[in-house]
Homo-oligomer: A and B are copies of this chain.
Amino acid sequence: MPKREAHVALSDGPASDAATLADQLHSAAIHLLRTLRKEDDSSGLSAPRLSALSVVVFGGPLTLGQLARAEQVRPPTMTRIVTGLEKAGLVRRIGDPRDHRLTRIQATAKGQRVLAEGRARRVKLLAESVSALDQAKLAALGRGIQLLNELNAAMRAK
């Protein structure tokens, strides 16, 4: 996946006004994910498949439509992604006995294992850097994450 706007953060230090802060946060988040994404390759799964698998594993059996909505993707796209995962033996299609229009998607044991391994590998790099921080920085980071979650909630509410 391509880099996104490395060049946006023209200054490194934090600033006080909202627009600049928003800009820096945006840029920092992009950098973070770009770096972590490199670790994804080793899982052998493409990003969309990994993401869909993740939703299925953590969200329990879902219908294809629910999965498509969760992944912000159209049903035909999800059909193909699920077909790929199914061929790889990571998920199963299960018919609903009540409503025969539905197909429930369920993770296999292999799917759960593959996801867990991939996730661990991906966050490992970040976790190593985090654990090098001292106690004060760790606390500040925790506070920052909390604020980030607040911002996310505020934006979602709009």
Contact = CB atoms under 8 A, between A and B. Distances in A.
Contacts of A79: none
Interface string A1-28: 1111111111011111011011111101
B141 A140 contact: no
Contact of A33 (B21, B29, B50, B151): B29
Contacts of A89: none
A83 interface: no
A42 interface: no
Given A14-B145, A140-B140, A72 B3 contact: yes
A150 to B, nearest CB: 8
Interface in A29-49: 29-36, 47-48
Contact of A148 (B13, B32, B128, B150): B32
